[in-house]
Structure 1
Amino acid sequence: MLRSSTPDQMYSLVHDITASSEPVTEDASFFAIKESRRRMLSLGQMDKKHATPTAEPNLLIPASKAIPENSETNRSSFVVRLDNIPWKLTHHDVMSWLPKPVEKLLPSSDTVAQSVHIPIDVVSGKTSNCCFVECRDKEQAMRLVRHRNNARLLGRPVSLILTNHDDLLNEIFPFRLVSPRKDEEHCIYFTPGILMHLVQLLRSGSPQLKGPAKVVDLTTSMIRLVPARLNERLRTVLFGRVKEIICTCILAPRELVGIHESLNRLLLASSTCACFTVAQRIDILDSARQALNTIAPQH
């Protein structure tokens, strides 16, 4: 089901993530990652030799900006739920269907890598019967409902309602267990087994999975929505699986269909994930660079 993207696509992807204005060439892309890493090290006051953070500010790409913890960037209160969606629905389908201008409707793509969330079953790959759109503010959320409620999406009438962040979290993390103290550090959002199933689904596919991009998009939704104070063990597992998924997307040996934009969003979301440390974000960029390096001779 998967095959590695062409070097041109991968160089372009890393070029986008590191916000470089250099031409998209092998040297320029690798330089862009190196420069982004250097700036993150400097801003995070990290030891360059051991890459151990002494301070962990929340970083955006570009690294000169910061994400305030628990800000609207991380948790939008203006969520619209779409019910009765087609199983083959993709991120691109929803974005094309949204009322224009989309830039006014959604949070800035510079701060929110993915505003459309389409849950799937991590074992079967089956798409849920609902999806969610995070909106810029309440006015835009109401505009979306007003203009698209009961409209047809890929031939099916969909119903739209204003909902809340918890509803979104419950669909993206169906096994979420909330701490009685409502302390995010003690909440369970997923298990290591769920993430393992996600990787297996990407690699092997399933009859009910409507394309590998859906796995990548769900991964992006997870790291977009996971709290900053995630349990340390789960953070480590999530970080490892995200790296594995990114490298699989770049290096997979079989046909890769429509995954380039999804991988682009995943890399950006990984670089801005509230729960990852600065060192982990740098590691993700380095892993992408190393994966690119293995396909560079084909360029």
Structure 2
Amino acid sequence: MHGATARLLADGRRLHLQHGPIDLVIEASGRADEVALAYRQACEAFGPVLDELVAELPRLRAPSGPLPDGAVARRMAAAIAPFTPVFVTPMAAVAGSVADHVLAALVKGRDLDRAYVNNGGDIALHLARGTFRVGICEDPVAGTAGGIVTLSPGDGIGGIATSGWRGRSHSLGIADAVTVLAETAARADAAATLIANAVDLPGSPRVTRTPASDLAPDSDLGARPVTVAVAPLSPPEIDEALARGEAAARAHERSGLIRAAFLGLAGERRTVSGAHPAGATLSFASWRTKACA
């Protein structure tokens, strides 16, 4: 697999794929022979992913330009396209796009009840039968979930992604965590990034920022100031920041780009959720502190 590694985890059910910074945990449910073939397909698809992305990094770090060539890179470009003219580069959808790509290979031609590809918390989902119960991240540092969402096959949700200033990537905003449910993981990834950016207090002395390029010289954000610290906020400040993010989330939900969003800041929460194609709302528990599962 050209530098990539694959192994079954100790439980014998989940597949671990790793190559450089890409670290995937995969689980498929169904007949044993179908699962075995699905895992083989996932391994084959994963092998060249990192090398192909590295070859296209200059294009993927730019907000506009010629369309990329690789399969994952094309997913990234397609995921961000509906969100322009807001500044966003294909890198905002990289984790979700990798998850979508591997999931598509995993399920191709296979009869699986359900499957997921978890790329560091950005998750691509396949659900033919049964349900998924998903913990919504509220605080990525403390490892707590703010509620549980139950997903069914008719909900039209194929991806979940989380973003925030304390996560793996830099953020222009101050959200502790924004989790988005969407049709694909790539779309959820891009939307979570932009909604988390919108949860903000522009110009506030309570927020410490530094140019992204000072933290990572090759950042796709360039010299844009990213959040590195947030001092304790007053209730009105928390409300103002969350209202900005909620407005962005509602706009994306109305346009059909996302199905639901969960925003968390300093222990306060906002939920944006529309109706699924059958007209019913998503089934999610009232937000309350739970241990992340």
TM-score normalised to structure 1 length: 0.27
Tell which has more relative contact order, 1 or 2 (C-alpha 8 A, sep 6+). Answer: 1
Q: Going by fraction, where is strand more abundant, 1 or 2? A: 2
TM-score normalised to structure 2 length: 0.27
Q: Going by fraction, where is helix more abundant, 1 or 2? A: 1
